[in-house]
Structure 1
Amino acid sequence: MSAHPRTTPSRRLFLGAAAATSMTLAADLAWGAGPAHAADAAYVMGYFTESPDGAGTDYGLHLAVSTDSLTWMPLNQNNPVVTPTAGAGGLRDPFIMRKRDGTFVVLATDLKGTDWGYNSQYIHVWDSTDLRTFTNYRRPHLHTMATHSWAPEAFWDASRGQYALLYSAVNSSGHNVLMVNYTSDFTTVSAPQVFFDPGYDVIDGDMAVGVNGANYLYFKSSSTGGLVGARSTSLNPGSFTPFSTSVAHGGTEAPTLVKSLTSNTWYLWGDTYTPNGVFYAWRSTDLAAGTWTPVDQRLYTHPVNAKHCTIAPVTTGEYGNLVARWGAPAWNRLKSYNHPDRYVRHAAFAARIDTYPFDPYTDSQWRLVPGLADSAGVSFQSVNYPTRYLRHYDYQLRLDAVDGTAAYAQDATFHRVAGLADSSWASFRSHNNPTRYIRHSGYALRIDPVATATDRADATFSVGY
C-alpha cells in the first residue's frame, strides 16, 4: 500500500533467489509453501500497480515471470489477470503461495485505492491450479474489530497442521499489530489472535520458517521507519522478539525474506513509499546475524509500476504455460548502466534518462523494430507516439515523426552491440555515424564518440521491461 496518515501498509517484493533444480522441504517452508517441488526452476510475481499521476494505476492482480528471480517480464502487457468483484472491488498487497497439495492460493487486501478509512474485516482469496485460471473467489471474515485486514500472507504451521494467516490490524492496543487466524482451506478460519505486538505500529509480516532451528519474522517498523527482524524457536503467537538492525532506503515497507536456492545468500526486499514504488534489496549470508548489505541496483529490475509484490517458485513447464497464456510484452524499457535508477524516455519529444517512477510511464516504453535503414539494425518506436521514432539530429536524440526520407531512416537506425561497459548489457552504434554511440550527457541522449570509461558507462543500457 501507499503512504497512510498513521502508517504505511504494504506487501512483499520479488524473490531474490536464483533458479534451482532441487529444493529441500525446509527451504520450501521458509516461503510458507507446501511440499518441495524438485522441478521448480523459475518464479512468478504477483503485484498491483500505481504510478505518480495515476496513469499506470490498477488494483487488480498482475503477474510477471523470471528465470533468475532478478529480471522480471510482466505478463498480459502489464494488465491485470483477475480483479475482485466484491468488497471494495479492488485489491492491494497480493500474496501467492503454493499449497501443500501443489495448487496455489492467492490472498490480497480488500481495498481499492487509498481509502484508508475503508476498514474491511475481510480479505480476497482465489484458488488456482496453474495461475492461468482463478476459481472459488471468496472473502473470508477474519475478525469483528473496527479495523482493517491489511497485507495478508500465510505459512504452514506443522505443529498445528494448519496454515497460519498473518495480517495487520489495529487491536485494543490502539496501534497496528500482526494478527493470526488458522485455517485448513482459506475459507473457514479460527478466531483471531495477536501474533506479534512489540508495543508500536508494525505491519507487513513476512516469515522464514525452520531455519537452523529458528523462525524469522520481518516487518515494517514505525519505530525505525524501516524493516526489522524478530525471531523465535517456535511459531507460537507472542513468542517473537526483535533482534536485527533496521534497513531502509527512504521510507521502506513490505519486507520479503528469501533464501537463494543455489547459495547461502539470503535476500531482504523492501518497497519504498518515499519515493513511491521503488524497490531495494539487501543481502546476507547469515540470517541469524540480522545485518544486511545493499544489493547493486544494476542486478535487478522490477515490472513497471509494480507495487507490493509476492513471489512463488514455479516449474519450467508452469513458466512456459504462463507466458503462453498471458503473452510477453510488445515493448521494452532501457535502464542506464551508471544511473540504474534512471530509464530512457522522451519528454517534450527530447530523449533523456529520468529517475523512475514518472508519468506518463509510457514515455519509457519502446518497440525495438528492425532498423528503418537496415533490417539488421534496430529502430526505437515510441509506444505512445507510434508514428515517431528516436533519431539523431545534430547529434542529439529526439522523437520525430517519420518523414519518408532516406536521411530520417538512417538517423533512426542503430546497431546493437555488447555493452561497452559490461558485455552482458547493450550499447547502440549509430548506423550513419558508425564512430558514435547512443549515450547520455547531462541526462540528455545524444550520439558521441566513446573514448573513456565514463563514456562507455554512459553508452551502456539494459534492455528489459
Structure 2
Amino acid sequence: MSESPRPLQPSRRTVLGAMAALTASFTIGAPSARAATGSAYVMGYFTESPNGLGDDYGLHLAVSTDSLQWMPLNQNNPVVTPTGGTGGLRDPFILRKQDGTFVVLATDLKGTDWSLQSQYIHVWDSADLRSFTGYRRLKLHDMATHSWAPEAYWDAGRGQYGIIYSAVNSTGHNVIMVNYTTDFVTASTAQVFFDPGYDIIDGDLAVGVGGVNYLYFKKDQTLVGARSASLDPGSFTVFSTPVAHGGTEAPILVKSQTSSTWYLWGDTYTPNGVFYAWQTGDLAAGTWTAVDQRLYTQPVNSKHGTIQPITTTEYDNLVAAYGKPSWNRIKSYNYPDRYVRHADYVGRIDAYPFDPYTDAEWKLVPGLADSSGVSFQSVSYPTRYLRHYNYQLQLDVNDSTTTFAQDATFYRTAGLADTSWSSFRSFNYPDRHIRHANYVLRIDPISTSTEKADATFSVGY
C-alpha cells in the first residue's frame, strides 16, 4: 500500500515500478501454463500526486516494450474502477493464470484513511486486460484488521493459487497472510505465511528460481528478502541485505528474459510515489546495485503497481484498445529526476513529482515557423507555447506573429551528450540550443561537456 510516513502499526504500502534491458519470463508467482513470450510488459497501478490533483483509485494500465520506459494507456485514466466496498482501490496486482487469462486483485481502500479495515479485496477476471468481468469482493478473514496489497501465485504442489497480503493477526503487528483458492471466488481459511517477529507489509514472490522461492517485503523503510525451498507457510527465512532510497516500500521482482539479471523495484513515499530500481545477476546473493535513473521512467503519478509480461500481440491490442497518450513528458539527461515544466509561465526543470502535474505535459506539434521542426504546446494552457524571449524560455499565448512562431520553433536533433536522447536547436538562433541553467530553461551556444549534458533530454511519457 502507498502511504505517507506513519507508525508501523498499522503500516501499509505504495506502488511500483518497472525496469531495465529486460523482458521477463514472469514477475510474481510461477510461470503460467501459457506464459507470455515477446518483449512486452503491462503495469497496473493507481495514481496519487502531491496535492491530490492526480489522485485516482481505479486500475490504471501502462505498457512497455523493454520494461524501462512506460507508456500510460487511456490517457492515464482508469480502465476499470470498483463499484463495491469503498469504491476505490490501491495496490493492484495482475496475475496470468494457468489458463492464460488474467485475474486482477487489489486492496479495497479509496484514499488514505488507514483506519478503515476491510477483510475483503477487489477481484476481476479478464481475458485480455481490455475487458473486465465477474467483479466481486473476496473475503479473506474474520479478523479486525485490513487485507492490504494482495498478490497471488500458483502453488503447483497444492494445485491451487495462493493469495498473500498484509494483515495484523494475534501477534499485534503486520505479517504476511495466505489463503488458497482455485477460482478467486472462494478461499480457504487464512494462515500466517511469513512472520519474522516484527512489522512487515507488501509481500512479493518469485517462485521456483533455481529450486528456491524468494519473498521480498517492506521492513521499516527498506526492502528485505526471505527465501525457502518450499512454499509452505512458515518456511521462509530472511537472507538479503536491505535496500532503500528514502522510505521505500512495494517491492516488485522482475526477471530479464535476455540475461540472468534480476530487477527489484521499490516505491517511495518521500517524495511521494517515486520508483527506484536495483539489479543483481544472482538473486541468491541477496545484494543489489542501483540502476541509473536515466534508464527508466515510471507512468506519471503511478503508485504501488504490478508488472506482468505480455506478448507483443497483447501489447499491440492494448494500445489499439486504449490509445497512446496525446502528450509527452521531457526528462533531463543530467538531472534524470527532473522534467521540463512551466511554473509561473517560466520554462524550467523540476524534480518529479509535483502539482499541477499537467504543467510537465507537452504536445510536440509541427513547428509554428517550420513544420519540420517542433513547437511545445502546453497541456495545462493549450493557447500557450514555450518560446524564447531574451534567450530565456517562457510560456506565452500564441499571438500569430512571425516573431512568435520563430521564437517557438525548434529542430529536434540527436542528443548532444547522448545520441540516443534529443536536443533542440533554435529556429531563429541556429547557434543556440535549449538547455537548463540553474534549472531554468534558455537557449545558449553549446560547447562544453556540461553544456551538452544540460542541453540533452529524453522525450517520453
Q: Tell me what 1:6 maps to.
A: 7
Q: Does 1:304 align with 2:304?
A: no
* 1:16 corresponding residue in structure 2: 19
Deviations 1:306-334 (A, max 9, x none): 00010111111111111111110000000
Residue 194 of structure 1 aligns with an amino acid whose one-letter code is V
Is contact 2:27-2:253 (8 Å) kept?
Answer: no
- After TM superposition, the structure 1 = structure 2 runs for residues 314-393 of structure 1, keeping only pairs within 5 Å, are 314-393=310-389
Return 5+ residue gaps in structure 1 as ranges.
none
Decide whether aligned partners of structure 1 residues 5 and 363 sit closer, same or farther in structure 2, where only a CA change above 3 A counts.
same
Q: Deviations over 1:21-58 (max 9, x none)?
A: xx8xxx54854441243633311110000000011110
* Per-residue Cα deviation, 1:264-289 (whole angstroms, up to 9, x for no partner): 10101000011111000000001111
Query: Within 5 Å, which residues of 2 pair with 1:136-147?
Result: 136-147=134-145
What pairs up with 1:43-442 in 2 under 5 angstroms? Answer: 43-222=41-220, 225-442=221-438
Partner amino acid for 1:16? M
Deviations 1:210-262 (A, max 9, x none): 1112111000002xx20000011111000101011100000000011111110
Return the TM-score normalized by structure 2.
0.97
Percent of matched pairs sharing the same residue: 72
AA of the residue aligned to 1:454: T
Q: Contact 2:16/2:302 (CA < 8 Å) preserved in 1?
A: no
Shift of 1:17: 5.6
- Cα separation, 1, equivalents of 2:187 and 2:31: 18
Q: Distance in 1 between matches of 2:138 and 2:162?
A: 14
C-alpha distance in structure 2 between counterparts of 1:173 and 1:277, whole Å: 30
Secondary structure of 1:115's counterpart equals coil
Gaps of 5+ in 2: none
- The answer (yes or no) to whether the contact 1:31–1:258 under 8 Å persists in 2 is no
In structure 1, what is the Cα distance between the partners aligned to 2:59 and 2:142? 26
Q: CA deviation at 1:16?
A: 2.9
The one-character-per-residue Cα deviations of 1:150-199 (angstroms, maximum 9, x if unpaired) are 00000111110000000000000000000000000111100000000111
| 1:33–1:117 Cα change, 3 Å | farther
Residues 17 and 277 in structure 2, CA contact (< 8 A), matched pair in contact too: no
Q: Give the length in aligned residue pairs.
A: 458
Cα offset, 1:11, TM superposition: 4.9
CA contact (8 A) 2:43 2:63 kept: yes
Decide whether the 8 Å contact of 1:180 with 1:193 is kept in 2. Answer: yes
Secondary structure of 1:139's aligned partner? strand
CA distance in 1, matches of 2:399, 2:172: 65
SS at 1:62 equivalent: strand
8 A contact 2:119–2:143 mirrored in 1? yes
Task: Compare 9-18 and 75-84 and name the one that shifted more.
Answer: 9-18
| 1:34 corresponds to 2:32 | yes
Pairing partner for 1:457 from 442, 453, 457 = 453
- State whether residues 150 and 165 of structure 2, in contact with CA within 8 Å, keep that contact through their aligned partners in structure 1: yes
| Partner SS for 1:152 | strand
Say if 1:12 and 1:204, in contact at 8 Å, map to a contact too: no
Taking the aligned partners of 2:403 and 2:436, their CA distance within structure 1 comes to 23
SS at structure 2 position matched to 1:277: coil
Computed over aligned residues only, the root mean square deviation of the Cα atoms, in angstroms, reads: 1.3
- After superposition, give the CA deviation of every residue in 1:306-364 in whole Å (9 maximum; x if it has no partner): 00010111111111111111110000000000000000000000000001100000100
> Aligned to 2:450, what secondary structure does the other structure show?
helix
